Amino acid sequence: MSLEKRDYDAIVVGSGPNGLAAAILMQQQGLSVLVIEGKDKTGGGLASESLTLPGFVHDVCSAIHPMAVASPFFKTLPLAAHGLEFIYPALAAAHPFDDGTAAILDQSISHTASFLGRDNHVYEKLMKSVISDWPLIDRDALGPLRLPSHPLAMANFGLKALTSATYFVDHFKGQAARGLFGGMAAHAIQPLSNLSTTAIGLVLMATGHLKGWPIPKGGSVSIANALGSYFRSIGGTIETGHFVTDLSKLPSAHAVLFDVTPKQLLKIAGHKFSNIYKWQLERYRYGMGVFKIDWALDEPIPFKAAACRKAGTIHLGNTFEEIAEGELMTSRGKQAEKPFVLLSQQSIFDSSRAPERKHTGWAYCHVPNGSKQDMTAIIENQVERFAPGFKDVILARNTMNTEQMEAHNPNYIGGDINGGILDIRQLFTRPVLKWSPYKTSAKGLYICSSSTPPGGGVHGMCGYNAAKTALKDIFKIEIK
Cβ pair 253, 8 in contact under 8 A: yes
The mean predicted confidence, pLDDT, of the chain is: 96
For every residue of 169-212, DSSP letters joined together read GGG--SHHHHHHHHHHHGGG-S-TTSTTHHHHHHHHHHHHHHT-
> pLDDT value at position 66?
95
Which residues of the chain are in CATH 3.90.660 domains?
A: 86-215+288-408
pLDDT of 1 over the 70 cut: no
Q: To 10 degrees, what angle do helices 175-185 and 320-331 make? A: 30
Per residue in 178-210, pLDDT (tens digit) is 999 999 999 999 999 999 999 999 999 999 999
How crowded is residue 222: how many other Cβ atoms within 10 Å of its Cβ?
23
Per residue in 374-404, pLDDT (tens digit) is 999 999 999 999 999 999 999 999 999 999 9
Q: Among 64-78, 87-101, 390-404, 425-439, whose mean pLDDT is lowest? A: 425-439
> pLDDT value at position 428?
81
Residue 311 to residue 308: CA distance in whole angstroms: 5
Assess whether the previous peptide bond of 454 is cis (omega < 30° from 0): yes
Strand residue runs (E) in 39-125: 48-49, 58-59, 86-87, 91-96, 102-105
> pLDDT value at position 154?
96
CATH code for residues 8-40+240-286+418-475: 3.50.50.60
Terminal C-alpha separation, the chain: 40
Residue 60 to residue 46: CA distance in whole angstroms: 8
% of the chain at pLDDT higher than 90:
96
Per residue in 441-477, pLDDT (tens digit) is 999 999 999 999 999 999 999 999 999 999 999 999 9
Which residues of the chain are in CATH 3.50.50.60 domains?
A: 8-40+240-286+418-475
DSSP bridge pairs for 239: 36
Cβ pair 91, 167 in contact under 8 A: no
Closest to 433 measured CA to CA, from 272, 270, 279, 269: 279
State residue 31 phi and psi, 5-degree precision.
Answer: -85, 160
Average pLDDT over residues 113-140: 96
User: What's the helix, strand, coil split of the chain in %, to 5?
Assistant: 40, 15, 45
Query: Residue 295 — very low, low, confident or very high, per pLDDT cuts 50/70/90?
Result: very high
Residue 232 to residue 22: CA distance in whole angstroms: 13
Pick the CATH number of 86-215+288-408 from 3.40.50, 1.10.3470, 3.90.660, 3.30.2010: 3.90.660
> pLDDT value at position 440?
98
> pLDDT value at position 474?
97
State residue 100 phi and psi, 5-degree precision.
Answer: 90, -5
Cβ pair 17, 463 in contact under 8 A: yes
> pLDDT value at position 5?
73
> pLDDT value at position 2?
64
pLDDT of 257 over the 90 cut: yes
